[in-house]
Amino acid sequence: AQRVTQPEKLLSVFKGAPVELKCNYSYSGSPELFWYVQYSRQRLQLLLRHISRESIKGFTADLNKGETSFHLKKPFAQEEDSAMYYCALFNQAGTALIFGKGTTLSVSS
């Protein structure tokens, strides 16, 4: 069965520090992976997807099939990065986007 695990419920860092939000997955074959973000009082929205290999707001995520991981990284955290972050992947049928439980990132000055 497909599964997404985000081991950290809360990650607190200081402004300017590096950030790594962990995501591990269980999937047979080539997964379609995403990071979604929810800022305070805003809707859940897409941050980035692995097929695009893009950097959004300074965040990157690399798919590591050997470790079945898709960790989200940013070299220098900003206070505006404080939000809830969800890792997600589509199920084998492509009908459901399966989410992890989310990690709250808190960046303080």
Partner 1 sequence: GAGVSQSPSNKVTEKGKDVELRCDPISGHTALYWYRQRLGQGLEFLIYFQGNSAPDKSGLPSDRFSAERTGESVSTLTIQRTQQEDSAVYLCASSPRTAGRELFFGEGSRLTVL
Where do contacts with partner 1 occur on this chain (CB under 8 A)? 32, 36, 43-46, 49, 51-52, 86, 90, 93, 95-102
Cβ proximity to partner 1: between 52 and 109 the closer is 52
Alpha carbon distance 62, 68 (integer Å): 10
Alpha carbon distance 46, 34 (integer Å): 7
Cβ proximity to partner 1: between 24 and 78 the closer is 24
Cβ proximity to partner 1: between 15 and 99 the closer is 99
Cβ(105)–Cβ(21) under 8 Å?
Answer: yes
